[in-house]
Structure 1
Amino acid sequence: MKIKNIFKNTTQMNTDNTEKEPIESANENAANEIETAEELSVEAQLQEDLAKEKDKFLRLFAEFENYKKRTAKERIDLFRTANQEVLQALLPVLDDFDRAMVQIAKSEDELLLKGVELIHEKLRNTLVSKGLEQVEVKAGDDFNADFAEAITQIPAPSEALKGKIVDVVEKGYKLGDKIIRFPKVVIGN
C-alpha cells in the first residue's frame, strides 16, 4: 500500500506539474508577447521620432540654402548698384555738358569745341564703363509710364502725335536693369 500511495502521490504531483507547466508556459508566452509588443512600440516610436527629426533637418537645410541664395543675390545686386548715388550725382554734370556742347557748337571756335567734346566723351565713357546706360526715348515714340515721366501735356501739333512723346526735356539713365532717372518728356494731347 505504501507503494500505491507513493505512486499516487507521484502521479498526482506529475499531474499538478503538468497543469502548472502550461500555465507557466502561457504566462511566459504572454510576457514575451508583451515584451515584444513593447519593443515594437518603442521601435515604432523611435522610427517616428527619427522621421520627424529627418524632416526637421531637411527643412532647416532647405531654409539655409534659400538664405545663402538670397544673400548671394542681394550681394550681387549691391555690387551692381553700389555706384548708384555717385552716378546720380554726376548726371546733372553730364546734362550740363550736353547743353554746353549745343552752345559751343554754335560758336566758331573749333579748338574749344574739340576740347570740350574730348572731355565730354571721356566723362560719358567713364560712366558707361561703370554700367550707366541711357534710356532711349525720342519724339514720336508712344508714351510708356514705365520708362518715362510726363512733366506736361500740350496740344498735339498733329494727329499722329496724340498720346505720343512730343519732346524730351531731360534724358533718362539706367544702371544695369534699374532706371535711376526717368526721362522727362512732353506728351501731345
Structure 2
Amino acid sequence: MNEENKEKELNNEHSVNDGELKGDTEGSTNESGLAETALETDIEKLQKQLDESERLVGSYKDQLLRLAADFENFKKRVEQDKIEFIKYANERIIKELLPILDDFSRALINGKATPDFESFYRGVDLIYQKLLKLLESKGVKPIESVGKEFDVTYHDVLMQVPRPDLKPHTIIEEVERGYMLHDKVIKHAKVIVAGESKEEGDQNN
C-alpha cells in the first residue's frame, strides 16, 4: 500500500469517527431538550395546582370568617332573647294575678264603708280561695304541717313548746305556710314544735 492510499484510509476513518461523535452529540442534545420540556410541563402543572390550592384556601378563609360573623350575631340574638325572656317571663302569671289584686282593692274599699265584719271576712276569704286556686293551677301547693313530725326538708323551727301529751318534734302550730312548686320546696313552712317536758328532760339527763 502506497502512502497515498494510507492517507485516504486515515481520512476515511476520521470522517467516520467525526460522524459518530456528531450523532452522539445531537442525540444527547435531543434527550436533554425533551427532559427540560417535561420538567417545564411538570412545573407548570405544579404551579397551577398551587394557584388552585391558594384560591381554595382564600375561599375557605372567607367562608370561615362569614361563619364566625354569623355565629357571633347568633350569640348576640340568643343573649338578647334570653334577656327579654327573663324580663317578661312572669308576664302571664302577673296578668292572671291582677284581677285578684283588683278584688282585694274593692274589698278594702267596701270594708271601710260597711260595719258588717262577717260579710267583709267572707269577701276576703273568697279572694284568698281564688288566689290559691290560681297558684294550684300553676303547680303550687301548700305544705301541710300541723300534726306532722318536723322534717328539715319542709320546715323551719321557730321555737319548741313543752307538750308532754305529744311526741317530741310534732308540729303544733304553723306560723307561716310553706309552699312547693311541683316537687320542689320554694318556701319552707315556719313552725312551732312540741318539745320535751321539763320532767322528761331531767329524766333523760
TM, length-normalised to structure 2: 0.46
Tell me which structure has the larger Cα radius of gyration.
2
More contact order relative to length (CA 8 Å, sep ≥ 6): 1
